[in-house]
Amino acid sequence: MKNKMKFKIGEFSKLCQVTVKTLRHYEEIGLLIPFEVDEWTGYRYYNISQLRQMNRIVYLKQLGFSLEEIGRLFEEGKDYPGPELIEAKVERCKEEIERLIRRQTELAKLEDMLRKQEKVMKKVFEKSLPARVFATHRRKIDSYQELFNLCPNVIGPEMYRLGCECPAPEYCFTIEYNEEYGVDIDIEYFEAVAQRKEDSELIKFKELPEVPVALCISHYGAYEKMPETFAELYAYAEANGYEVSDRPRFCYIDGIWNKESVEEWLTEIELPVKR
């Protein structure tokens, strides 16, 4: 009778294309134990049937089965899992595919946003804000959409009734007075006028002094994304030794009234500072 063919652990690892470290781990957990261990040399030997068993382990791992699951199959004397277990793996694959598709979609959105930001080249710049007389209107609103209805339909007509003239360069902005984030936005609208008129129920006139230095930054896109722009603006102020001296002003240059795409909305944030 011929001697049965056997392989040392190094030869076996080459044939199976797995590392010796992996084979030793499989031995430790009882998944694939050498059929013979020389008591004098400690050499481990594997046989032909274990070549097939190792190939099944590699194949089932590629299909997403854990070593524990493969070990239970071998303990039950099975070479492959049953239809129910395979069906469960198929369902898990479907869930994983859906999760990866969602991740791919979000990554594409992030990439698109970052590329647009690179094109915009947001940068902080300094300028002074001149002393001006302003027609103002203050109220609490639910959202900025309400403000953009107020300006043409409430504030504008009242300013016209009072005889207000807006000299060039036109300058309008809002200031928020909320001390914390909430449902209502406590906002005051300012629009520069040629001269003070008599206050009305809707419009009050104020004169604001010059702001010698304001750090300014352009925010493109939805207003919900402003915290990201704020972070950049305040980081610049801190890094360059500025101290915030007043509430920021929001100048709405482009928006829903003249741009179809939200990405084209442009707001200049002006932050009064001092050194």
Quote the CA–CA distance of 191 and 203 in Å, as a whole number: 11
Residue 129 has pLDDT above 60, yes or no: yes
Residue 39 has pLDDT above 90, yes or no: no
Q: pLDDT per residue over 200-222, tens digit each?
A: 999 999 999 999 999 999 998 88
Q: What is the mean pLDDT of residues 143-168?
A: 89
Residue 146 has pLDDT above 90, yes or no: no
pLDDT of residue 120: 47
Domain 125-274, architecture per CATH: Alpha-Beta Barrel (3.20)
Q: How confident is the model at residue 117 (pLDDT cuts 50, 70, 90)?
A: low
Mean pLDDT over each residue of the chain, to the nearest integer: 89
Retrieve residue 268's tokens. 């200049």
Q: Where are the domains of the chain?
A: 6-81, 125-274
Q: 248 with 177: CB under 8 angstroms?
A: no
Residue 20 has pLDDT above 90, yes or no: yes
Q: What is the mean pLDDT of residues 120-145?
A: 86
Which residue type does 41 have? T
Q: What is the mean pLDDT of residues 152-172?
A: 92
Percent of the chain surpassing pLDDT 70: 96
Q: What is the mean pLDDT of residues 68-94?
A: 88
pLDDT of residue 22: 93
Residues 6 or more apart from 254 whose CB is under 8 A from it? 264, 265, 266
Name the CATH topology of 6-81.
Answer: Multidrug-efflux Transporter Regulator; Chain: A; Domain 2 (1.10.1660)
Q: How confident is the model at residue 143 (pLDDT cuts 50, 70, 90)?
A: confident
Retrieve residue 124's tokens. 């902080």
Which residue type does 199 have? D
Q: Do domains 6-81 and 125-274 have the same CATH topology?
A: no
Residue 225 has pLDDT above 90, yes or no: no
Q: By C-alpha distance, which of 272, 251, 245 is closest to 191?
A: 251
Q: How confident is the model at residue 123 (pLDDT cuts 50, 70, 90)?
A: confident
pLDDT of residue 121: 47
pLDDT of residue 30: 92
The string of DSSP codes covering the chain is: -PPPPEEEHHHHHHHHT--HHHHHHHHHTTSS--SEE-TTT--EEEEHHHHHHHHHHHHHHHTT--HHHHHHHHHTT-SS--HHHHHHHHHHHHHHHHHHHHHHHHHHHHHHHHHHHHHHT---EEEEE--EEEEEEEEEESSHHHHHHHIIIIIHHHHHHHT---PSSP-EEEEE--SS--SSEEEEEEEEESS-----SS-EEEEEPPEEEEEEEEEES-GGGHHHHHHHHHHHHHHTT-EE-S--EEEEEE-TTT-SSGGG-EEEEEEEEE-
Poorest-pLDDT segment among 50-64, 110-124, 132-146, 152-166: 110-124
Residue 1 has pLDDT above 70, yes or no: no
Residues 6 or more apart from 252 whose CB is under 8 A from it? 148, 172, 173, 174, 267
pLDDT of residue 2: 53
Residue 115 has pLDDT above 80, yes or no: no
